[in-house]
Structure 1
Amino acid sequence: MSDPGAGGAPRAARLAVLGSPISHSRSPALHRAAYARLGLDWEYTAVEMDGAGLAGFLDTRDAAWRGLSLTMPLKQDVLPLLDDLDEIARLTNAANTVLLADGLRRGFNTDVGGIVRALREAGCDRAGHGVLLGGGATAASALAAMAELGAQSVEVLLRRPEAGAAISGLGAALGLRVEVRPIGDLPAIDDADLVVSTLPGGADPGVAASVRLRERTPLFDVAYAPWPTTLASQWLEAGGTVVHGLEMLLHQALLQVRIFTSGDPLRELPDEAAVLDVMRRSL
Protein backbone atom coordinates (compact mmCIF):
# COMPACT_ATOMS: atom_id res chain seq x y z
CA MET A 1 0.00 0.00 0.00
CA SER A 2 1.19 3.55 -0.65
CA ASP A 3 2.28 5.74 2.26
CA PRO A 4 -0.75 7.48 3.81
CA GLY A 5 1.34 10.62 4.02
CA ALA A 6 -1.55 12.95 3.24
CA GLY A 7 -2.41 12.71 6.90
CA GLY A 8 1.19 12.89 8.04
CA ALA A 9 1.07 9.37 9.47
CA PRO A 10 4.47 7.66 9.83
CA ARG A 11 5.18 4.25 8.31
CA ALA A 12 6.03 2.86 11.76
CA ALA A 13 4.53 4.02 15.03
CA ARG A 14 3.58 2.99 18.54
CA LEU A 15 0.08 3.17 20.04
CA ALA A 16 -1.66 1.73 23.09
CA VAL A 17 -4.95 1.45 24.94
CA LEU A 18 -4.78 2.61 28.56
CA GLY A 19 -7.13 1.88 31.43
CA SER A 20 -7.78 -0.16 34.54
CA PRO A 21 -8.60 -3.00 34.36
CA ILE A 22 -7.29 -3.46 30.82
CA SER A 23 -6.51 -7.16 30.42
CA HIS A 24 -9.95 -7.86 28.88
CA SER A 25 -9.64 -5.14 26.21
CA ARG A 26 -10.39 -6.09 22.62
CA SER A 27 -8.83 -2.87 21.31
CA PRO A 28 -5.42 -4.42 20.48
CA ALA A 29 -7.05 -7.03 18.23
CA LEU A 30 -9.18 -4.40 16.49
CA HIS A 31 -6.38 -1.94 15.85
CA ARG A 32 -3.79 -4.53 14.84
CA ALA A 33 -6.21 -5.93 12.26
CA ALA A 34 -6.82 -2.45 10.84
CA TYR A 35 -3.16 -1.47 10.53
CA ALA A 36 -2.22 -4.80 8.99
CA ARG A 37 -4.95 -4.29 6.36
CA LEU A 38 -3.68 -0.74 5.74
CA GLY A 39 -0.11 -1.98 5.34
CA LEU A 40 1.19 -0.02 8.31
CA ASP A 41 3.92 -1.39 10.56
CA TRP A 42 2.32 -0.06 13.72
CA GLU A 43 2.58 -1.54 17.22
CA TYR A 44 -0.53 -1.39 19.41
CA THR A 45 -0.45 -2.68 23.00
CA ALA A 46 -2.53 -2.59 26.20
CA VAL A 47 -1.18 -0.79 29.27
CA GLU A 48 -2.63 -0.98 32.77
CA MET A 49 -2.96 2.62 33.87
CA ASP A 50 -4.78 4.68 36.49
CA GLY A 51 -5.22 8.43 36.70
CA ALA A 52 -2.28 8.89 39.06
CA GLY A 53 0.17 7.54 36.51
CA LEU A 54 -1.26 9.12 33.38
CA ALA A 55 0.66 12.42 33.39
CA GLY A 56 3.97 10.67 33.86
CA PHE A 57 3.18 8.20 31.10
CA LEU A 58 2.33 10.98 28.63
CA ASP A 59 5.41 12.98 29.56
CA THR A 60 7.71 10.04 28.78
CA ARG A 61 6.40 9.19 25.30
CA ASP A 62 8.96 9.79 22.57
CA ALA A 63 8.48 10.72 18.90
CA ALA A 64 7.71 7.11 17.96
CA TRP A 65 4.32 7.38 19.71
CA ARG A 66 1.35 8.25 17.50
CA GLY A 67 -1.64 7.95 19.82
CA LEU A 68 -3.56 6.47 22.71
CA SER A 69 -6.99 4.96 23.25
CA LEU A 70 -8.41 5.58 26.73
CA THR A 71 -10.90 3.59 28.76
CA MET A 72 -12.20 4.17 32.25
CA PRO A 73 -11.18 5.85 34.45
CA LEU A 74 -9.03 8.00 32.16
CA LYS A 75 -11.50 9.69 29.79
CA GLN A 76 -11.85 12.65 32.14
CA ASP A 77 -8.52 12.39 33.94
CA VAL A 78 -6.73 13.11 30.65
CA LEU A 79 -8.49 16.41 29.92
CA PRO A 80 -6.13 18.80 31.80
CA LEU A 81 -3.15 17.06 30.16
CA LEU A 82 -4.19 17.89 26.59
CA ASP A 83 -3.36 20.81 24.32
CA ASP A 84 -6.60 20.71 22.35
CA LEU A 85 -10.02 19.04 22.35
CA ASP A 86 -12.40 18.39 19.49
CA GLU A 87 -15.91 19.78 19.82
CA ILE A 88 -17.48 16.49 20.94
CA ALA A 89 -14.86 15.87 23.63
CA ARG A 90 -15.31 19.42 24.90
CA LEU A 91 -19.09 19.09 24.99
CA THR A 92 -19.13 15.71 26.76
CA ASN A 93 -16.13 16.51 28.97
CA ALA A 94 -14.60 13.18 27.96
CA ALA A 95 -11.81 12.14 25.59
CA ASN A 96 -11.20 8.51 24.69
CA THR A 97 -8.58 9.23 22.00
CA VAL A 98 -5.31 11.16 22.07
CA LEU A 99 -3.40 11.97 18.89
CA LEU A 100 0.31 12.65 19.48
CA ALA A 101 1.58 14.64 16.50
CA ASP A 102 3.54 17.82 15.80
CA GLY A 103 4.45 18.10 19.47
CA LEU A 104 0.80 18.37 20.52
CA ARG A 105 -1.65 16.19 22.43
CA ARG A 106 -5.04 16.44 20.74
CA GLY A 107 -8.06 14.85 22.40
CA PHE A 108 -11.09 13.38 20.64
CA ASN A 109 -14.28 11.59 21.62
CA THR A 110 -15.10 8.74 19.21
CA ASP A 111 -17.57 7.09 21.61
CA VAL A 112 -20.44 9.30 20.41
CA GLY A 113 -19.84 8.44 16.77
CA GLY A 114 -19.32 4.79 17.68
CA ILE A 115 -22.70 4.61 19.41
CA VAL A 116 -24.50 6.38 16.57
CA ARG A 117 -22.91 4.18 13.90
CA ALA A 118 -23.65 0.99 15.88
CA LEU A 119 -27.29 1.90 16.41
CA ARG A 120 -27.84 2.95 12.81
CA GLU A 121 -26.30 -0.28 11.59
CA ALA A 122 -28.78 -2.14 13.83
CA GLY A 123 -31.68 -0.20 12.32
CA CYS A 124 -32.14 2.21 15.25
CA ASP A 125 -31.78 5.54 13.49
CA ARG A 126 -34.45 7.56 15.30
CA ALA A 127 -35.10 7.92 19.04
CA GLY A 128 -37.50 10.64 20.14
CA HIS A 129 -37.61 9.53 23.78
CA GLY A 130 -34.83 7.58 25.44
CA VAL A 131 -33.91 5.95 28.72
CA LEU A 132 -30.29 6.08 29.87
CA LEU A 133 -28.79 4.07 32.72
CA GLY A 134 -25.64 5.55 34.25
CA GLY A 135 -24.16 9.01 34.59
CA GLY A 136 -20.42 8.76 33.91
CA ALA A 137 -18.23 9.64 30.93
CA THR A 138 -19.71 6.96 28.67
CA ALA A 139 -23.23 8.03 29.66
CA ALA A 140 -22.38 11.57 28.55
CA SER A 141 -21.38 10.19 25.15
CA ALA A 142 -24.56 8.11 25.01
CA LEU A 143 -26.67 11.19 25.75
CA ALA A 144 -24.94 13.10 22.95
CA ALA A 145 -25.52 10.14 20.62
CA MET A 146 -29.23 10.12 21.50
CA ALA A 147 -29.41 13.81 20.65
CA GLU A 148 -27.79 13.09 17.28
CA LEU A 149 -30.46 10.44 16.68
CA GLY A 150 -33.18 13.02 17.21
CA ALA A 151 -34.05 12.52 20.87
CA GLN A 152 -36.05 15.29 22.50
CA SER A 153 -36.33 13.83 26.00
CA VAL A 154 -34.32 11.32 28.03
CA GLU A 155 -34.95 9.74 31.41
CA VAL A 156 -31.61 9.20 33.15
CA LEU A 157 -31.62 6.50 35.83
CA LEU A 158 -28.92 6.70 38.50
CA ARG A 159 -28.14 4.86 41.71
CA ARG A 160 -27.60 8.29 43.26
CA PRO A 161 -29.91 10.78 41.55
CA GLU A 162 -28.34 13.58 43.57
CA ALA A 163 -25.22 13.07 41.41
CA GLY A 164 -27.10 13.92 38.23
CA ALA A 165 -26.17 17.60 37.88
CA ALA A 166 -23.49 17.05 35.23
CA ILE A 167 -25.62 14.84 33.00
CA SER A 168 -28.56 17.24 33.39
CA GLY A 169 -26.33 20.14 32.40
CA LEU A 170 -25.16 18.28 29.31
CA GLY A 171 -28.76 17.55 28.40
CA ALA A 172 -29.57 21.25 28.59
CA ALA A 173 -26.58 22.06 26.38
CA LEU A 174 -27.82 19.49 23.86
CA GLY A 175 -31.35 20.91 23.89
CA LEU A 176 -32.80 17.81 25.56
CA ARG A 177 -35.39 17.52 28.31
CA VAL A 178 -33.61 15.38 30.89
CA GLU A 179 -35.34 13.89 33.92
CA VAL A 180 -33.06 12.26 36.49
CA ARG A 181 -34.66 9.40 38.38
CA PRO A 182 -33.47 6.65 40.75
CA ILE A 183 -32.57 3.41 39.02
CA GLY A 184 -35.25 1.72 41.12
CA ASP A 185 -37.83 3.45 38.88
CA LEU A 186 -36.88 1.27 35.90
CA PRO A 187 -39.80 -1.19 36.34
CA ALA A 188 -42.28 1.73 36.11
CA ILE A 189 -41.08 2.78 32.63
CA ASP A 190 -42.88 1.03 29.79
CA ASP A 191 -42.64 3.47 26.90
CA ALA A 192 -39.46 4.61 25.10
CA ASP A 193 -37.84 4.46 21.68
CA LEU A 194 -34.44 3.36 22.96
CA VAL A 195 -32.82 2.19 26.20
CA VAL A 196 -29.06 2.62 26.60
CA SER A 197 -27.16 1.10 29.51
CA THR A 198 -23.69 2.35 30.40
CA LEU A 199 -23.49 0.25 33.57
CA PRO A 200 -20.29 -1.79 33.97
CA GLY A 201 -20.49 -5.32 32.57
CA GLY A 202 -20.71 -7.05 35.91
CA ALA A 203 -23.17 -4.61 37.44
CA ASP A 204 -26.68 -5.64 38.43
CA PRO A 205 -29.24 -2.80 38.34
CA GLY A 206 -31.08 -4.59 41.16
CA VAL A 207 -34.44 -4.30 39.38
CA ALA A 208 -36.06 -5.71 36.24
CA ALA A 209 -37.38 -3.61 33.39
CA SER A 210 -41.07 -3.99 32.57
CA VAL A 211 -41.99 -6.74 30.13
CA ARG A 212 -43.55 -4.16 27.82
CA LEU A 213 -40.33 -2.14 27.68
CA ARG A 214 -38.21 -5.23 27.03
CA GLU A 215 -40.51 -6.51 24.30
CA ARG A 216 -41.01 -3.22 22.45
CA THR A 217 -37.87 -1.11 22.95
CA PRO A 218 -34.34 -1.90 21.74
CA LEU A 219 -31.60 -2.06 24.38
CA PHE A 220 -28.11 -0.90 23.57
CA ASP A 221 -25.74 -2.17 26.25
CA VAL A 222 -22.27 -0.64 25.97
CA ALA A 223 -20.71 -3.37 28.14
CA TYR A 224 -19.32 -6.46 26.43
CA ALA A 225 -17.54 -8.42 29.15
CA PRO A 226 -18.91 -10.42 30.82
CA TRP A 227 -21.71 -11.06 28.34
CA PRO A 228 -24.64 -11.13 28.51
CA THR A 229 -24.98 -8.49 31.19
CA THR A 230 -27.81 -8.74 33.70
CA LEU A 231 -29.82 -6.19 31.75
CA ALA A 232 -29.14 -7.82 28.37
CA SER A 233 -30.28 -11.15 29.83
CA GLN A 234 -33.57 -9.54 30.85
CA TRP A 235 -34.13 -8.31 27.29
CA LEU A 236 -33.12 -11.60 25.67
CA GLU A 237 -35.40 -13.60 27.97
CA ALA A 238 -38.31 -11.40 26.85
CA GLY A 239 -37.43 -11.83 23.18
CA GLY A 240 -36.42 -8.18 22.88
CA THR A 241 -33.81 -6.53 20.66
CA VAL A 242 -30.30 -6.10 22.07
CA VAL A 243 -27.42 -4.28 20.42
CA HIS A 244 -24.14 -5.72 21.71
CA GLY A 245 -21.52 -3.43 23.23
CA LEU A 246 -18.89 -4.82 20.86
CA GLU A 247 -20.61 -2.91 18.06
CA MET A 248 -19.82 0.39 19.76
CA LEU A 249 -16.25 -0.78 20.40
CA LEU A 250 -15.85 -1.68 16.74
CA HIS A 251 -17.17 1.57 15.32
CA GLN A 252 -15.43 3.89 17.79
CA ALA A 253 -12.18 2.06 17.03
CA LEU A 254 -12.65 2.63 13.30
CA LEU A 255 -12.97 6.36 14.00
CA GLN A 256 -9.80 6.17 16.09
CA VAL A 257 -7.97 4.55 13.19
CA ARG A 258 -9.08 7.47 11.01
CA ILE A 259 -7.67 9.91 13.58
CA PHE A 260 -4.37 8.08 14.02
CA THR A 261 -3.79 7.78 10.27
CA SER A 262 -5.04 11.17 9.05
CA GLY A 263 -5.74 13.34 12.10
CA ASP A 264 -9.39 13.62 11.05
CA PRO A 265 -12.27 11.45 12.37
CA LEU A 266 -14.36 12.41 9.32
CA ARG A 267 -11.81 11.33 6.69
CA GLU A 268 -12.60 7.84 5.43
CA LEU A 269 -9.86 5.25 5.21
CA PRO A 270 -8.68 3.77 1.93
CA ASP A 271 -11.01 0.81 1.22
CA GLU A 272 -12.74 1.44 4.55
CA ALA A 273 -15.34 -1.30 4.12
CA ALA A 274 -12.57 -3.89 3.92
CA VAL A 275 -10.83 -2.41 6.98
CA LEU A 276 -14.07 -2.55 8.96
CA ASP A 277 -14.59 -6.15 7.85
CA VAL A 278 -11.18 -7.34 9.10
CA MET A 279 -11.71 -5.46 12.35
CA ARG A 280 -15.09 -7.11 12.86
CA ARG A 281 -13.63 -10.54 12.15
CA SER A 282 -10.86 -9.91 14.70
CA LEU A 283 -13.54 -9.88 17.42
Structure 2
Amino acid sequence: MSSTNRRAAVLGSPIAHSLSPVLHRAAYAELGLDHWSYDRFEVDEAALPGFLAGLGSSWAGLSLTMPLKRAILPLLDEISETAASVEAVNTVVFTDDGRKVGDNTDVPGMIAALRERGVDTVESAAVLGAGATASSALAALARICTGPVTAYVRSEGRAAEMREWGARLGVDIRTAGWEQAAQALRAPLVIATTPAGTTDALAAAVPEQPATLFDVLYEPWPTELAAAWSARGGAVVGGLDLLVHQAVLQVEQMTGRKGPLQAMRNAGEQALENR
Protein backbone atom coordinates (compact mmCIF):
# COMPACT_ATOMS: atom_id res chain seq x y z
CA MET A 1 0.00 0.00 0.00
CA SER A 2 1.19 3.51 -0.79
CA SER A 3 2.63 5.38 2.16
CA THR A 4 1.85 8.79 0.64
CA ASN A 5 0.11 10.90 3.26
CA ARG A 6 -3.57 11.49 2.50
CA ARG A 7 -5.76 14.10 4.14
CA ALA A 8 -9.47 14.60 4.73
CA ALA A 9 -11.47 16.86 7.05
CA VAL A 10 -14.87 18.14 8.06
CA LEU A 11 -15.70 21.82 7.48
CA GLY A 12 -18.46 23.90 8.99
CA SER A 13 -19.38 26.58 11.50
CA PRO A 14 -19.67 25.83 14.37
CA ILE A 15 -17.57 22.68 14.08
CA ALA A 16 -16.03 22.03 17.52
CA HIS A 17 -18.60 19.37 18.49
CA SER A 18 -18.51 17.41 15.23
CA LEU A 19 -18.15 13.66 15.69
CA SER A 20 -16.85 13.19 12.14
CA PRO A 21 -13.15 13.11 13.14
CA VAL A 22 -13.87 10.37 15.69
CA LEU A 23 -15.73 8.26 13.13
CA HIS A 24 -13.29 8.68 10.24
CA ARG A 25 -10.18 8.18 12.39
CA ALA A 26 -11.72 4.99 13.80
CA ALA A 27 -12.24 3.79 10.22
CA TYR A 28 -8.63 4.55 9.26
CA ALA A 29 -7.37 2.69 12.33
CA GLU A 30 -9.56 -0.34 11.59
CA LEU A 31 -8.50 -0.38 7.93
CA GLY A 32 -4.80 0.07 8.68
CA LEU A 33 -4.65 3.40 6.82
CA ASP A 34 -1.85 4.77 8.97
CA HIS A 35 -0.91 7.40 6.41
CA TRP A 36 -4.41 8.96 6.42
CA SER A 37 -5.40 11.88 8.68
CA TYR A 38 -8.77 13.52 9.30
CA ASP A 39 -9.19 16.96 10.90
CA ARG A 40 -11.85 19.60 11.50
CA PHE A 41 -11.78 23.23 10.36
CA GLU A 42 -14.01 26.14 11.31
CA VAL A 43 -15.04 27.48 7.88
CA ASP A 44 -18.04 29.66 7.02
CA GLU A 45 -19.49 30.52 3.61
CA ALA A 46 -17.21 33.52 3.11
CA ALA A 47 -14.04 31.53 3.85
CA LEU A 48 -14.97 28.46 1.83
CA PRO A 49 -13.62 29.47 -1.63
CA GLY A 50 -10.25 30.47 -0.18
CA PHE A 51 -10.00 27.28 1.86
CA LEU A 52 -10.66 25.12 -1.19
CA ALA A 53 -8.15 27.06 -3.28
CA GLY A 54 -5.42 26.38 -0.70
CA LEU A 55 -5.71 22.59 -0.68
CA GLY A 56 -2.82 20.58 -2.11
CA SER A 57 -2.59 17.24 -3.89
CA SER A 58 -2.52 15.24 -0.63
CA TRP A 59 -6.21 15.95 -0.08
CA ALA A 60 -8.64 13.11 -0.76
CA GLY A 61 -11.93 14.57 0.38
CA LEU A 62 -14.06 16.73 2.64
CA SER A 63 -17.13 16.28 4.78
CA LEU A 64 -19.39 19.34 4.96
CA THR A 65 -21.85 20.39 7.61
CA MET A 66 -23.90 23.54 8.10
CA PRO A 67 -23.78 26.15 6.69
CA LEU A 68 -21.75 24.83 3.74
CA LYS A 69 -23.91 22.12 2.17
CA ARG A 70 -25.40 24.58 -0.32
CA ALA A 71 -22.58 27.16 -0.37
CA ILE A 72 -20.27 24.54 -1.89
CA LEU A 73 -22.44 23.91 -4.95
CA PRO A 74 -21.05 26.61 -7.31
CA LEU A 75 -17.47 25.68 -6.35
CA LEU A 76 -17.64 22.08 -7.62
CA ASP A 77 -16.88 20.56 -11.02
CA GLU A 78 -19.60 17.92 -10.77
CA ILE A 79 -22.33 16.81 -8.37
CA SER A 80 -24.19 13.53 -8.09
CA GLU A 81 -27.84 13.08 -8.97
CA THR A 82 -28.69 12.64 -5.28
CA ALA A 83 -26.94 15.87 -4.29
CA ALA A 84 -28.61 17.74 -7.14
CA SER A 85 -32.04 16.44 -6.11
CA VAL A 86 -31.76 18.05 -2.65
CA GLU A 87 -29.42 20.93 -3.62
CA ALA A 88 -27.06 19.91 -0.83
CA VAL A 89 -23.58 18.37 -0.78
CA ASN A 90 -22.09 16.85 2.37
CA THR A 91 -19.21 15.00 0.68
CA VAL A 92 -16.51 16.24 -1.70
CA VAL A 93 -14.02 13.87 -3.31
CA PHE A 94 -10.92 15.14 -5.12
CA THR A 95 -10.16 13.07 -8.20
CA ASP A 96 -6.67 12.22 -9.46
CA ASP A 97 -7.02 14.81 -12.19
CA GLY A 98 -7.86 17.56 -9.69
CA ARG A 99 -11.62 17.74 -10.12
CA LYS A 100 -13.95 18.38 -7.17
CA VAL A 101 -16.95 16.02 -7.15
CA GLY A 102 -19.82 16.52 -4.72
CA ASP A 103 -22.25 13.95 -3.36
CA ASN A 104 -24.86 13.64 -0.62
CA THR A 105 -24.49 10.60 1.66
CA ASP A 106 -27.20 11.78 4.08
CA VAL A 107 -29.95 10.42 1.83
CA PRO A 108 -28.55 6.87 1.33
CA GLY A 109 -27.34 7.03 4.95
CA MET A 110 -30.94 7.51 6.13
CA ILE A 111 -32.10 4.60 3.99
CA ALA A 112 -29.30 2.36 5.28
CA ALA A 113 -30.01 3.28 8.92
CA LEU A 114 -33.69 2.41 8.48
CA ARG A 115 -32.90 -0.80 6.62
CA GLU A 116 -30.64 -1.87 9.48
CA ARG A 117 -33.74 -1.73 11.73
CA GLY A 118 -35.83 -3.72 9.26
CA VAL A 119 -37.61 -0.79 7.62
CA ASP A 120 -37.34 -1.31 3.85
CA THR A 121 -40.66 0.19 2.73
CA VAL A 122 -43.55 2.01 4.40
CA GLU A 123 -47.05 2.82 3.16
CA SER A 124 -47.01 6.37 4.56
CA ALA A 125 -44.82 8.60 6.71
CA ALA A 126 -44.70 11.84 8.67
CA VAL A 127 -41.91 14.43 8.78
CA LEU A 128 -41.56 16.84 11.70
CA GLY A 129 -39.88 20.05 10.54
CA ALA A 130 -38.98 21.67 7.23
CA GLY A 131 -35.28 22.51 7.20
CA ALA A 132 -32.40 21.13 5.14
CA THR A 133 -32.56 17.75 6.87
CA ALA A 134 -36.26 17.51 6.05
CA SER A 135 -35.50 17.76 2.34
CA SER A 136 -33.00 14.89 2.70
CA ALA A 137 -35.71 12.95 4.55
CA LEU A 138 -38.11 13.52 1.65
CA ALA A 139 -35.48 12.29 -0.81
CA ALA A 140 -35.04 9.13 1.26
CA LEU A 141 -38.82 8.67 1.50
CA ALA A 142 -39.09 9.02 -2.27
CA ARG A 143 -37.26 5.69 -2.44
CA ILE A 144 -38.96 3.77 0.38
CA CYS A 145 -42.45 5.23 0.92
CA THR A 146 -45.21 3.96 -1.39
CA GLY A 147 -47.90 6.40 -0.23
CA PRO A 148 -48.40 9.91 1.15
CA VAL A 149 -46.00 11.84 3.38
CA THR A 150 -47.32 14.53 5.73
CA ALA A 151 -44.97 17.30 6.84
CA TYR A 152 -45.79 19.15 10.05
CA VAL A 153 -44.46 22.72 9.94
CA ARG A 154 -44.72 26.05 11.73
CA SER A 155 -45.56 28.43 8.88
CA GLU A 156 -47.26 28.54 5.50
CA GLY A 157 -43.92 29.56 3.97
CA ARG A 158 -42.32 26.36 5.23
CA ALA A 159 -45.34 24.36 4.06
CA ALA A 160 -44.95 25.80 0.56
CA GLU A 161 -41.24 24.89 0.57
CA MET A 162 -42.02 21.30 1.53
CA ARG A 163 -44.68 21.04 -1.18
CA GLU A 164 -42.11 22.27 -3.71
CA TRP A 165 -39.58 19.66 -2.49
CA GLY A 166 -42.24 16.97 -2.66
CA ALA A 167 -43.12 17.84 -6.25
CA ARG A 168 -39.47 17.95 -7.21
CA LEU A 169 -38.65 14.61 -5.57
CA GLY A 170 -41.78 12.80 -6.69
CA VAL A 171 -43.25 12.47 -3.19
CA ASP A 172 -47.00 12.59 -2.54
CA ILE A 173 -46.65 15.36 0.05
CA ARG A 174 -49.27 16.90 2.32
CA THR A 175 -48.64 19.61 4.92
CA ALA A 176 -50.16 20.35 8.31
CA GLY A 177 -49.61 22.92 11.05
CA TRP A 178 -47.28 22.19 13.95
CA GLU A 179 -50.24 22.35 16.34
CA GLN A 180 -51.41 19.07 14.78
CA ALA A 181 -48.03 17.35 15.17
CA ALA A 182 -49.33 14.83 17.73
CA GLN A 183 -51.25 13.22 14.86
CA ALA A 184 -47.93 12.46 13.16
CA LEU A 185 -47.02 9.97 15.87
CA ARG A 186 -49.48 7.38 14.52
CA ALA A 187 -47.71 7.12 11.16
CA PRO A 188 -45.82 3.90 10.23
CA LEU A 189 -42.63 6.01 10.11
CA VAL A 190 -42.04 9.35 11.80
CA ILE A 191 -38.88 11.33 10.93
CA ALA A 192 -38.09 14.14 13.37
CA THR A 193 -35.74 16.71 11.80
CA THR A 194 -36.15 19.58 14.28
CA PRO A 195 -33.59 21.17 16.66
CA ALA A 196 -33.07 19.93 20.22
CA GLY A 197 -36.07 20.46 22.48
CA THR A 198 -38.57 21.11 19.70
CA THR A 199 -40.36 17.78 19.98
CA ASP A 200 -40.18 17.41 23.79
CA ALA A 201 -43.82 18.43 24.22
CA LEU A 202 -44.89 15.57 21.93
CA ALA A 203 -43.46 12.88 24.22
CA ALA A 204 -46.70 12.69 26.22
CA ALA A 205 -48.68 12.07 23.02
CA VAL A 206 -46.81 8.93 21.90
CA PRO A 207 -49.47 6.24 21.32
CA GLU A 208 -49.39 2.71 22.68
CA GLN A 209 -47.35 0.41 20.42
CA PRO A 210 -45.99 3.09 18.07
CA ALA A 211 -44.24 2.03 14.86
CA THR A 212 -40.83 3.54 13.95
CA LEU A 213 -39.31 6.88 14.94
CA PHE A 214 -36.22 8.26 13.21
CA ASP A 215 -34.97 11.17 15.32
CA VAL A 216 -31.99 12.79 13.59
CA LEU A 217 -30.55 14.27 16.81
CA TYR A 218 -27.70 12.52 18.61
CA GLU A 219 -26.97 15.01 21.37
CA PRO A 220 -28.65 15.13 23.81
CA TRP A 221 -29.70 11.48 23.50
CA PRO A 222 -32.19 10.05 23.92
CA THR A 223 -34.51 12.97 23.23
CA GLU A 224 -37.66 13.04 25.34
CA LEU A 225 -39.63 11.89 22.30
CA ALA A 226 -37.24 8.99 21.59
CA ALA A 227 -37.29 7.90 25.25
CA ALA A 228 -41.10 7.91 25.36
CA TRP A 229 -41.21 6.06 22.05
CA SER A 230 -38.89 3.31 23.31
CA ALA A 231 -40.81 3.06 26.59
CA ARG A 232 -43.98 2.29 24.64
CA GLY A 233 -42.28 -0.43 22.62
CA GLY A 234 -41.61 1.46 19.39
CA ALA A 235 -38.51 1.10 17.22
CA VAL A 236 -36.13 4.07 17.36
CA VAL A 237 -33.44 5.05 14.88
CA GLY A 238 -31.21 7.87 16.15
CA GLY A 239 -28.98 10.59 14.85
CA LEU A 240 -25.85 8.58 15.59
CA ASP A 241 -27.18 5.82 13.30
CA LEU A 242 -27.52 8.39 10.51
CA LEU A 243 -24.14 9.96 11.25
CA VAL A 244 -22.36 6.60 11.18
CA HIS A 245 -24.07 5.30 8.03
CA GLN A 246 -23.41 8.49 6.04
CA ALA A 247 -19.79 8.49 7.28
CA VAL A 248 -19.34 4.85 6.21
CA LEU A 249 -20.27 5.94 2.68
CA GLN A 250 -17.89 8.91 2.87
CA VAL A 251 -14.99 6.68 3.92
CA GLU A 252 -15.72 4.39 1.00
CA GLN A 253 -15.77 7.27 -1.50
CA MET A 254 -12.60 8.90 -0.16
CA THR A 255 -10.44 5.81 0.46
CA GLY A 256 -11.88 3.22 -1.93
CA ARG A 257 -12.25 0.83 1.03
CA LYS A 258 -15.48 -0.34 2.62
CA GLY A 259 -16.21 1.66 5.76
CA PRO A 260 -16.12 -0.49 8.96
CA LEU A 261 -19.60 0.20 10.35
CA GLN A 262 -19.26 -1.39 13.78
CA ALA A 263 -15.85 0.10 14.58
CA MET A 264 -17.15 3.56 13.63
CA ARG A 265 -20.35 3.15 15.66
CA ASN A 266 -18.39 1.97 18.71
CA ALA A 267 -16.12 5.00 18.46
CA GLY A 268 -19.08 7.37 18.15
CA GLU A 269 -20.89 5.85 21.13
CA GLN A 270 -17.73 6.05 23.25
CA ALA A 271 -17.16 9.68 22.30
CA LEU A 272 -20.72 10.64 23.26
CA GLU A 273 -20.40 8.79 26.58
CA ASN A 274 -17.23 10.75 27.34
CA ARG A 275 -18.80 14.15 26.77
Contact 1:194 1:218 in 2 (8 A): yes
RMSD: 2.0
AA of the residue aligned to 2:13: S
**What corresponds to 2:241 in structure 1?**
247
Normalised to the residue count of structure 1, the TM-score between the two structures is 0.86
Contact 1:130 1:151 in 2 (8 A): no
Does residue 1:136 correspond to 2:121, yes or no?
no
Structure 2 counterpart SS, 1:51 = coil
Deviates more, 1:191-200 or 1:245-254: 191-200
**What corresponds to 1:266 in structure 2?**
none
Of 128, 147, 155, which aligns to 2:150? 155
Does residue 1:82 correspond to 2:92, yes or no?
no
Of 62, 72, 76, which aligns to 2:56? 62
Q: Report the CA distance shift for 1:278/1:205 in structure 2 as closer, same or farther (over 3 A).
A: closer
Runs of at least 4 residues of structure 1 off by over 3 A? 188-191, 236-239
- Structure 1 distance, partners of 2:102, 2:137, is 18
Does residue 1:34 correspond to 2:55, yes or no?
no
- Structure 2 distance, partners of 1:218, 1:188, is 14
Cα-to-partner distance string for 1:51-102 (whole Å, 9 max, x where unaligned):
2221221121121211110112211121111111000000011110011222
Structure 2 counterpart SS, 1:220 = strand
**What corresponds to 1:281 in structure 2?**
266
Contact 2:90 2:105 in 1 (8 A): yes
Does residue 1:174 correspond to 2:191, yes or no?
no
AA of the residue aligned to 2:248: L
Shift of 1:151: 3.5
Gap runs ≥5 in structure 2: 269-275
AA of the residue aligned to 2:85: L
Deviates more, 1:90-99 or 1:141-150: 141-150
- Structure 2 distance, partners of 1:160, 1:186, is 13
Of 187, 190, 196, which aligns to 2:191? 196
Structure 2 counterpart SS, 1:208 = helix
- Structure 1 distance, partners of 2:184, 2:159, is 19
- Structure 2 distance, partners of 1:27, 1:190, is 31
Contact 2:200 2:223 in 1 (8 A): no
AA of the residue aligned to 1:25: S
Shift of 1:190: 5.1
Structure 1 counterpart SS, 2:46 = helix
Deviates more, 1:164-173 or 1:26-35: 164-173
Does residue 1:16 correspond to 2:9, yes or no?
yes
How many residue pairs match? The answer is 265
Shift of 1:234: 3.6
Shift of 1:206: 6.4
Shift of 1:165: 3.1
Cα-to-partner distance string for 1:159-200 (whole Å, 9 max, x where unaligned):
223223333222123322111222221123453110001112
AA of the residue aligned to 2:37: E
